[in-house]
């Protein structure tokens, strides 16, 4: 039986929780300081969708996003994308559009989910619920809200993406 392997790229401004999300999903851990990333290009996790084995390879950017220096190798062959921003960082929300364009330029149209991370910090929220919905709709993406810290919706994001890829 053939196993499906999906490359998923996780993009968004520095500090929104991308590395934490990958570590949470693939290793089940969360740390406050996750700057010095994993030292490998990606982590992986195997799941089952409708009886099909799916191997998800989650690619991390190792901090280059802050220098606008993400290489083509990072995007090459990606099947799906997580576009992440932080509940407490308005600039990261405003940057969604340009991240979407970057991915589109390298990968074409691939299944993409916008993730509003850090919803455990709603008391410090700087993005209105309506504008988040509006921007997501304008970019043609589903919006999901998550807390990597509290482990809310992280698994759901990757299951939804994998299911989308299998349906295509
Ligand atoms: P990256 O630059 O996008 O890879 O972001 P990191 O994964 O390095 O996370 C940046 C900081 O945000 C770290 O201190 C994380 O511990 C923290 N962080 C990540 N996710 C969450 C979350 O859901 N809630 C809270 N409160 N902090 C988070
Ligand atoms: Mg990182």
Condensed to tens digits (0 to 9), the pLDDT of residues 73-105 reads 899 999 999 999 999 999 999 999 999 999 999
CA–CA distance, 11 with 59 (Å, rounded to integer): 9
- Could you tell me where the DSSP H helices lie in 34-126? 72-75, 90-94, 96-107
Residue of 11, 13, 16, 17 to test ligand 1 pocket, by largest number of atoms within 8 Å of CB? 17
State pLDDT tens for residues 143-154.
999 999 999 999
CB 87 within 8 A of CB 127: yes
Q: Compute CA distances 135 → 81, 93, 143, 145, 160, whole Å.
A: 16, 9, 9, 14, 20
pLDDT at 72: 85
CB 34 within 8 A of CB 19: yes
pLDDT at 39: 54
Q: Would strands 112-117 and 52-59 be described as parallel, antiparallel, or unpaired?
A: unpaired
Pocket of ligand 1 (CB under 6 A): 14-20, 32, 34-35, 117-118, 120-121, 147-149
Which ligand is nearest to the Cα of residue 21, counting in written order?
A: 1
Residues of the chain under the 50 pLDDT cut: none
- How many CB atoms sit inside 10 A of residue 133's CB? 12
């Amino acid at each position: 039986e053939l196993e499906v392997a999906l490359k998923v790229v996780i993009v968004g401004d520095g500090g929104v929780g991308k590395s934490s999300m990958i570590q949470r999903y693939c290793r089940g851990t969360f740390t406050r300081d996750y700057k010095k990333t994993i030292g490998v290009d990606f982590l992986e996790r195997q799941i089952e969708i409708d009886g099909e084995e799916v191997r998800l390879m989650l690619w991390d950017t190792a901090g280059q996003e802050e220098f606008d220096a993400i290489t083509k190798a990072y995007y090459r062959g990606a099947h799906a994308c997580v576009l992440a921003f932080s509940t407490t960082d308005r600039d990261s929300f405003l940057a969604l559009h340009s991240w979407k364009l970057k991915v589109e330029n390298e990968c074409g149209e691939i299944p993409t989910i916008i993730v509003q991370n850090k919803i455990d910090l709603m008391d410090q929220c700087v993005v209105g619920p309506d504008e988040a919905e509006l921007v997501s709709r304008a970019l043609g993406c589903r919006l999901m809200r998550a807390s990597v810290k509290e482990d809310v919706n992280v698994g759901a994001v990757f299951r939804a993406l994998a299911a989308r890829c299998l349906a295509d």
